[in-house]
Chains A and B, each alone.
Chain A
Amino acid sequence: GENVEQHPSTLSVQEGDSAVIKCTYSDSASNYFPWYKQELGKGPQLIIDIRSNVGEKKDQRIAVTLNKTAKHFSLHITETQPEDSAVYFCAASSEYGGSQGNLIFGKGTKLSVKP
């Protein structure tokens, strides 16, 4: 089955700097890769996602890149702000197979943005 590894587990940056979180996956059939942000006391919130037919997607200060050959994808946050502090999760899923559409999550990255 699919296995998703996420690094680093914790990341501390200065306000205004960029933050990068990386994930690798094992199942070459995976074709959907969402990123979630979880603030304290809240559930995970979808912030951006990418499908395997594109290599990069941007939404304001957030971007995701996908390398299908290497089976890894990354979240990039530019001009970080204190409100970006949260736990970020990557996930992967495949539209095919017995567990159709089921998301497999990484363990999460706790991002701290210092003012």
Chain B
Amino acid sequence: SYVLTQPPSVSVAPGQTAKIPCGGNNIESKTVHWYQQKPGQAPVLVVYDDSDRPSGIPERFSGSNSGNTATLIISRVEAGDEADYYCQVWDTTTDLSWVFGGGTKLTVL
């Protein structure tokens, strides 16, 4: 089955740019989605189809996907962005299934 790899943690100072990677074999051939999850809450979709934003998500959230790495980019980071972030793809290589990465804890210093 397809595997998505994320670093356990990323730290960034307020106002700076956070980049959260998601690694997968030839991930550029897939569409990647990103979710934000705060403690005790359900995940919220923040980026879909590599780089699109759902309605209501700030423009500070963006994404890219190239080679073996997709990246969630959060510009002008705020304290309220501190959360766990998960990447996800729809894998069609073996079984048709939805695969999540292991998650990255974003800490705002």
Asked if A pairs with B, the answer is no
Q: Contact residues of A with B, CB < 8 Å?
A: none
